Chains A and B, each alone.
Chain A
Amino acid sequence: MQAYLSIQEVTKRYANHLALGEVSLEIPQNKIFGLLGPNGAGKTSLIRIINQITAPDSGQIFIKGQSLQADHVTRIGYLPEERGLYKKMKVGEQAIYLAQLKGMSKHEARIKLKDWFKKFDILNWWDRKVEELSKGMQQKIQFVVTVLHEPELLIFDEPFSGFDPINVNLLKAEILKLKDQGATIIFSTHNMASVEELCDQIALINQGKKVLEGEVNALKDANRNYTYNCEIHHPVSDWNTMLERLPVELLQTKAEPNKINLHLKTAPALSSNELLKMMLPLGEVSSFQELLPSMNDIFIQKVGKSANPASDE
């Protein structure tokens, strides 16, 4: 399948540092793509290049096979990390203005805005000035404005910052709904929990280079470290000596009178079924689970590794 957005060897250099060094990415159609990386990795530079806010020094970007053109901006909805609205302008007026800049007609914008405002139950904000609204309210309006023109590609940079948990859930639901409606979504964040929850695929960028790319589940499998959690009820009396004879490394043991909880690591050659068989004699296995690394672990592992060598220049 052809990727919706194809980034090919994009390089961007600022006066004395390399923001992006020959980064290539394929962002598949109708997927949520997580763009991850520590602060200053080059995520925002890349997003700005996709939005044609800045131009790359070299490299090319294609949307559905077409090289990036000026009118592509109307197909993109971008919610920047540094975002805001005109404080003195009225909410409705401002939303229409921003929609017009994205190429919508005034009439069309008004109708769609009313729909969204009704959905979010914020219709009574229409004639209020932005400065009268709370930060969270402003963020909601910003979200509506970003998705209003029904863009094929949505780019959210830290979309959940500034929202309370209830609104985060509301937003997550909306983002998934947009995906169902066919949008391709780029999702840049530090919040790894939401990455696991939402993203189909991710790329990890560090110091201007891509260090990891792939599907979330595949990446987790590829980075598994063969650790398990096992809970045993009514253990046999000599479980301790029996465990020592097994080919496992005991990471943590929590023993209660009638229950033990084991955290252990095995060699890659040992399958989980074989391990489970070995555990059965110890008592009544009430829970047995392989611990796959979280995206958080993978992030720290990959970024920590490459952060050690001295940075260039």
Chain B
Amino acid sequence: MNKTLLILKREYLTRVKKKSFIIMTFLGPLLMAALMIVPVVLATLQNICEKNIAVVDETNWFIGKFEQGDNLQFHYVFEPVDSLKQKVLTGQFDILVYIPRPELNIPVNAEVYSNRQVPLNVSSYIKNTMSKEVEAKKLLASGIDPDIIKSAKTSINLVTIRIDEDGGETKSFTEINVALGLFGSILIYFFIFIFSSQVMRGIIEEKTSRIVEVIVSSVRPFELMMGKISGIALVGLTQFLLWIVLTGSIYGVFVIIYGVPESRQALGSGGSMISQANTMLPEMDNTAVLKVFEVVEAINFPVIIFSFIFYFLGGYLLYAALFAAIGSAVDNEADTQQFMLPVSIPLILGLVISNFIVNNPEGSLAFWLSMIPFTSPVVMMVRIPFGVPYGELALSMAFLIAGFLFTTWFAAKIYRTGILMYGKKPSYRELWKWLKY
């Protein structure tokens, strides 16, 4: 069997069999699913906590104005405030709202008593209802019917449509694209970082355990490095694919248990990305569900998933080579810091700038950063949901391939010298010399 393949197999199997990999593989989707499900569950939980609210209105302006909700029961009472306070303490009422007779003729003050912290939504509901009522009274006083104001309020339904050169039209939904883009770029950032540093740690382990010289007497240092890098790449891909499958199944189970309406269920079966877009808007009416349909149709999933895998692999190969060079140059993880920083700055920069790029995904900053191989994996993921011309995409990918070929060549030179050097921490000048050995 090919020796690089043997190394790849060992790297892959030892990592996949590790407990930490198995735990992360199952925990990851649980966390992701929790991220989607918890808001929905919380929204249902909120309805459960009922509040009995006593209202003492000395102005008589607000009698019957607080609407009885599922969770908020308003009782209009005419008892002295002090005896009601006792009732709050004994638990007969949860909250006491006391609206005193104003000194001027407009009531602007109210007091809320409770034996515990008043929930924010309750206090803001009281505040809103009161101010609405006062506003309406004021409008009436100046001769304007509040109904006129109500009917004048209009909600605008904005649809943005993209026109292709060949006459096709696709609806685009900026918010979804922003979310999708940022999600993709953060995910790719973490994947590159996590798996590249695994390469580095693996090399340091081989160095400190002193097995490396035994191995390079059987295989070329380059084969050892490439076997390790590609083995760990496969670990990353395995984890990613397992996450997609597991997230999808967990969401599927959730859908069955909670019995989400049919239209949603149809969406839910489409994979994790869709389910995510779906749950991001949990409280939607029927037209909103239709809108989600349109959004999902507008997203080019094949391109996004293909690009994610490509940019993960490309970016990973580029950075893993550099991290491999770092790992080979040092004797222990503590010494990696001085080399890690300059290497990871472009990656971090890409992630930070992504937050600005979502506002203008076709600007020149976005364009150039998605061409430079050191930032393109993270930045391109932000741009892709908005649609990137295929020519640009191909150019960026070509640059990325050239980029990782270069870093691999560069890293291999440092690596083959570094792995056999023990004892002192090298300086940048020494690394430069190793390049020429």
Residues on A facing B (Cβ under 8 Å): 14-15, 48, 51-54, 70, 73-74, 76, 78, 80, 82-89, 97-98, 100-102, 142, 145
Contacts and interface: CB of A to CB of B under 8 A. Distances in A.
B217 A53 contact: yes
Contacts of A78: 213-214, 217
Contacts of A51: 216-217
Given A53-B420, A97-B10, A101-B3, A82 B210 contact: yes
Which A-B residue pairs are the 8 nearest by beta carbons? A84-B210, A101-B218, A80-B213, A78-B217, A84-B209, A51-B217, A15-B433, A82-B210
Contact of A80 (B3, B7, B214, B416): B214
Contacts of B214: 78, 80, 83-85, 98, 142, 145
Nearest to B18: A88
B217 A73 contact: yes
Taking chain B's interface residues, is the majority helix, strand, or loop, or is none over half, making it mixed?
helix
Nearest to B434: A15
Contacts, number: 67
Contacts of B209: 84-87
A100 B6 contact: yes
A54 B216 CA distance: 10
B221 interface: yes
Interface residues of B, number: 26
Given A80-B210, A87-B205, 14 more contacts: A14-B437, A51-B217, A52-B220, A73-B218, A73-B219, A78-B213, A83-B213, A84-B209, A85-B214, A87-B209, A88-B14, A98-B214, A142-B214, A145-B214
Given A86-B209, A89-B14, A100 B1 contact: yes
Interface string B421-437: 01000000000010011
A51 B7 CA distance: 19
B211 interface: yes
Given A85-B211, A88-B14, A80 B217 contact: yes
A156 to B, nearest CB: 12
13 contacts: A15-B433, A53-B217, A73-B217, A73-B219, A78-B217, A80-B217, A82-B210, A83-B213, A84-B209, A84-B210, A88-B14, A100-B6, A101-B7
A82 B212 CA distance: 9
B161 interface: no
Contacts of B210: 80, 82-84
Contacts of A85: 209, 211, 214
Contacts of B422: 82
B215 interface: yes
Interface in B1-58: 1, 3, 6-7, 10, 14
Nearest to A105: B1
A101 B14 contact: no
A206 to B, nearest CB: 22
Nearest to A99: B218
B425 to A, nearest CB: 17
Contacts of B217: 51-53, 73, 76, 78, 80
Contacts of A100: 1, 6
A311 to B, nearest CB: 20
A84 B6 contact: no
A105 to B, nearest CB: 9
Contacts of B10: 97
Contacts of A76: 217
Given A15-B433, A53-B420, A88-B14, A101 B213 contact: no
